[in-house]
Structure 1
């Protein structure tokens, strides 16, 4: 069956395009670039960012400062990126591990590494329809057409792959951040911070690096409010026994194109929207 591609309403953390494929879409032809390597240069942000409410309590559960709208954030430009994601709507008896392995195999054939990402990056209209347990982010600068092609390679046409009801493809906004703090023993500091749990509570998925006499934390995921970013910096500083100003914040990569959040449309209300997010009651 041919591809059905529909544009969703403006989104919670999401850029303009959101699509649902009834099954998986017909392939598109063009290959795309891979993700840029993490940047080594770091810019300090010791000053309090705009929009932070001083003394305000911050929930550290991942995504809870977002609600149904975009969080107040002054960290944009190269710290905010557009990423294309594939979210699988499985059948009730699906083997989720097998579905993810299918995506990974198809991506490997194209030299396109996939990364885990939180479902919270999706349009709330899609999330009303399904909260996917299988969702992946394509490399930076990948296109929705490439995602459609990848989904088609992994799962074939509608109804041809057991366990897949249909697939959602979306272009979303994510924070792409790097936190860095100097330390004489970065490994011990990472263990101390991990035991406190603030990074897993606030960020969910993140990566750590212990190079160059510093602990570096990389995060790519749902947009964070300024208050939550400061809570992460404060937790890292507390673990190291230093002032919060010692925790530097920078874009995870200095190449490519960033996003000006002030120029982005406000997220649309989901009240009254069709539950599937694509207007096709056949799904």
Structure 2
């Protein structure tokens, strides 16, 4: 897919980097592996097993806030933009990535939480300069910082105790939560045409489709999209249907909950030289 990872910063998001946990600390750096800024939040709680018993040393959590750069220019905010909690695993070179994901899913299922795939491009560029995680999941929209911390702690335990995990980033990101809808006499055929042309896979990466009600509906939750890219999606869908882009309706995927006013978000942060020391010095 030719998506955002290949087209550089056009759709990189904001990450409110809220934790870095797991893995063995680098003795040459400050406390905490790939340390985030000094902790400003509450002390981390001890990890517990599903029965509620303390399973060992608390996972090392360091809390801060950072806003990444490279945010695309977008006028589609409000309920179209949401905050989501993500868990991004920084594996060791010989890690079994499938096993790490299964471990997260197992612990989440025990707590009644459904994790979903999400692009690493949702992460702050400061984090991506350090590592592009091959295992990254998003909690449901109602997921909280505390819940994400607990999942990471239950899944991977005390620092350095889980094979294949160097450390874990737990943070809040901004995502576009969009729905594109176009009427069609044959939505299934239209979806096949669009899929064969790669219109949506190139622009969006992961997306879902619905064929009900005499229309094709495309759902997207992922890195923020520029207005230009949103219009490119509308044009691509309209071209497949033989109509004009104005026939493609754009709306939030959900009309409930709390959206985000992008104009009120802090200005993007500088990243140049942030990792000269190899630490995750993402700032506040």
TM-score by length of 1: 0.78
Count residues in correspondence. Answer: 232
| CA deviation string 1:67-116 (max 9, x = no partner) | 94211100000000000100000010100011000111111111110111
Secondary structure of the corresponding residue to residue 211 of structure 1 = coil
Q: 1:229 aligns to what?
A: 230
The within-5 A match list for 1:139-218 is: 139-218=140-219
Specify every segment of 5 or more residues in structure 2 that has no aligned partner in the other structure, as ranges.
Answer: 1-11, 25-43, 49-67
Specify every segment of 5 or more residues in structure 1 that has no aligned partner in the other structure, as ranges.
Answer: 1-11, 30-66
Does 2:20 match 1:20? Answer: yes
Q: Is the 8 A contact 1:28 1:148 kept in 2?
A: no
Q: Is the 8 A contact 1:73 1:224 kept in 2?
A: yes
Q: 2:53 aligns to what?
A: none
Once residues 95 and 154 of structure 1 are traced to their aligned partners in structure 2, the CA distance between those partners, rounded to angstroms, is 15
The within-5 A match list for 1:64-75 is: 68-75=69-76
| CA deviation string 1:51-73 (max 9, x = no partner) | xxxxxxxxxxxxxxxx9421110
Indicate the RMSD between aligned Cα atoms, in angstroms: 2.0
Q: Is the 8 A contact 2:47 2:157 kept in 1?
A: no
Q: How big is the shift at 1:218?
A: 0.4
The within-5 A match list for 1:231-250 is: 231-250=232-251
Q: Residues 28 and 246 from structure 1, CA distance in 2 versus in 1: closer, same or farther, beyond 3 angstroms? A: farther
Q: Is the 8 A contact 1:27 1:145 kept in 2?
A: no
The within-5 A match list for 1:114-153 is: 114-153=115-154
Once residues 78 and 224 of structure 1 are traced to their aligned partners in structure 2, the CA distance between those partners, rounded to angstroms, is 14
Q: 1:277 aligns to what?
A: 280
Q: 2:28 aligns to what?
A: none
Once residues 89 and 140 of structure 1 are traced to their aligned partners in structure 2, the CA distance between those partners, rounded to angstroms, is 23
TM-score by length of 2: 0.78
Q: How big is the shift at 1:15?
A: 4.6
Q: Residues 135 and 201 from structure 1, CA distance in 2 versus in 1: closer, same or farther, beyond 3 angstroms? A: same
Q: How big is the shift at 1:19?
A: 2.1
User: Which shifted more, 238-247 or 153-162?
Assistant: 153-162
Secondary structure of the corresponding residue to residue 82 of structure 2 = strand
Structure with larger RCO (C-alpha < 8 A, sep 6+): 1
Secondary structure of the corresponding residue to residue 227 of structure 1 = helix
Q: How big is the shift at 1:17?
A: 3.8
Once residues 69 and 198 of structure 2 are traced to their aligned partners in structure 1, the CA distance between those partners, rounded to angstroms, is 25
Q: 1:263 aligns to what?
A: 264
Give 4+ residue runs of structure 1 displaced > 4 Å after superposition.
Answer: 24-29
Q: Is the 8 A contact 2:17 2:169 kept in 1?
A: no
Q: Is the 8 A contact 1:26 1:157 kept in 2?
A: no
The within-5 A match list for 1:48-87 is: 68-87=69-88
Q: Is the 8 A contact 1:124 1:270 kept in 2?
A: yes
Q: Is the 8 A contact 2:22 2:165 kept in 1?
A: no
| CA deviation string 1:221-263 (max 9, x = no partner) | 0000000000000000000011111100000111100000000
